[in-house]
Amino acid sequence: MASYIKGTGSYIPEEKISNRELSKRFGIDEEWIFQRTGIIERRRSSSKGVVDMAFPAVLSAIERAKLEKKDVSAIIFATVTPEFLTPSSACVLQSKLRIKRAIAFDISAACSGFIYGLFLSSMVVEKIGGAVLVVGAEYLTGFVNYNDRNTSILFGDGAGAVIVGKDPPGHKILDFYITAEGDGWKSLLIPAGGARLPASERTVKLNLHTFKMKGKEVFRNAISGMEEAITKLIEKNGIKKDDISMLIPHQANERITIALAERLGMEWKRVYSNILSLGNTSSASIPIALDEIERKKILKKGDLVCMASFGAGYTFGACLMEW
């Protein structure tokens, strides 16, 4: 049974972190940052919480779906920067929205969180009906060590949301390829704050509550992981790469996106990129992109769209959709 994206929404914080600001901090050239990442600026939230960012994105998605808050039957919240270890950010968001008696839970699949959430939403909406809210929201700037230039030049804050229903109208979700390779878990992580290494004076002093990344390993695996997901999804559905009107990859790093497009043999005009002004917003990057594409009316009815993601873990996957 197919499901449909019936509405989109996003929230972009106003405060900007420019390459100039970071270049002064690290004593490096602005152009070096741009050439390494494809980013000129990234955003920082003043709210210091993912729910406050998600809230306006959700309201926009509900409005565009021409629904009301009471129609929401489930909330799936993808994030690696939750409000609390417990309860879930989904429950906090549910309370803020004043929605009663809806399923609400978080998923932690890093930058693949939104694709994982969309996959789950298709099953949830088939079982219980109603409208399933899928959110990707991140407060990454709160977990960056600004003495580490490898991670601080990448990450920004933001939120995106979609409403999924089981009936048209909407953008038809056709199929998924979802998987993970757990051997990669050490390549990108926040070491402290969980059961393995609880918070202490030592963990704070050593900045163990911030991102640690083996950049070369993540870079290499991000390209191959998304290429695998896209290729297998295309083969599974008996279509060709040329049938894809738009590829929407996770906005990890412009060099990753360029390398992915080259491996797939896809023209750049068919690849969506907004990392220039937003940076890497993890699980929020794809739903933000979807909302931008919707608002700009870039695609037409019937166009085939492929979304692809790769994140810490490693998690990766792709979704095929008809606009």
Residue type, 51: V
Look-up of token digits 């937003």: 278
| Domains in the chain: ranges and CATH | 3-169 (3.40.47.10), 174-322 (3.40.47.10)
User: Which of 250, 253, 306, 319 is the catalytic position?
Assistant: 250
Query: Which pairs with CB-CB distance under 8 Å and at least 24 residues apart come from 194-201?
Result: 194/85
- Whole-number Å distance between alpha carbons of 322 and 245: 10
- Residue 64 clears pLDDT 90, i.e. is over it: yes
User: Which of 91, 111, 306, 319 is the catalytic position?
Assistant: 111
**What is the percentage of the chain residues whose pLDDT exceeds 90?**
98
- What value does the mean pLDDT take over residues 27-40? 95
Confidence of residue 1 (pLDDT cuts 50, 70, 90): low
- What value does the mean pLDDT take over residues 49-76? 97
- Residue 302 clears pLDDT 70, i.e. is over it: yes
Q: Is the peptide bond before 314 cis (omega within 30 degrees of 0)?
A: yes
What size, in residues, is the chain? Answer: 323
> What is the predicted pLDDT for the residue at 92?
98
- Residue 80 clears pLDDT 70, i.e. is over it: yes
- Residue 138 clears pLDDT 80, i.e. is over it: yes
> What is the predicted pLDDT for the residue at 6?
98
> What is the predicted pLDDT for the residue at 47?
82
> Would you say 274 and 73 are in contact if contact means Cβ atoms under 8 Å apart?
no
- What value does the mean pLDDT take over residues 216-223? 96
- Residue 137 clears pLDDT 80, i.e. is over it: yes
- What value does the mean pLDDT take over residues 143-168? 95
Confidence of residue 221 (pLDDT cuts 50, 70, 90): very high
Token code pair at residue 102? 């809806």
- Residue 48 clears pLDDT 90, i.e. is over it: no
Average pLDDT, rounded, for the chain: 97
Confidence of residue 191 (pLDDT cuts 50, 70, 90): very high
Model's pTM, two decimal places?
0.97
> Would you say 133 and 76 are in contact if contact means Cβ atoms under 8 Å apart?
yes
Dihedral angle at the C-alpha atoms of 55, 168, 290, 304, nearest 10 degrees? 170
Q: Which residues, 6+ apart, have CB-to-CB distance to 30 below 8 Å?
A: 19, 20, 23
- What value does the mean pLDDT take over residues 247-253? 97
> What is the predicted pLDDT for the residue at 248?
98
- Whole-number Å distance between alpha carbons of 49 and 65: 25
- Cα angle, residue 314 at apex, residues 137 and 90 outer, rounded to 5°: 25
- What value does the mean pLDDT take over residues 283-304? 97
- Residue 102 clears pLDDT 80, i.e. is over it: yes
- What value does the mean pLDDT take over residues 63-81? 98
Active site residue 221: no
- What value does the mean pLDDT take over residues 75-86? 97
User: Which of 91, 280, 306, 319 is the catalytic position?
Assistant: 280
Token code pair at residue 200? 């202490």
Confidence of residue 210 (pLDDT cuts 50, 70, 90): very high
- Residue 194 clears pLDDT 90, i.e. is over it: yes
> Would you say 155 and 144 are in contact if contact means Cβ atoms under 8 Å apart?
yes
Q: What are phi and psi of 313, to 5 degrees?
A: 140, -60
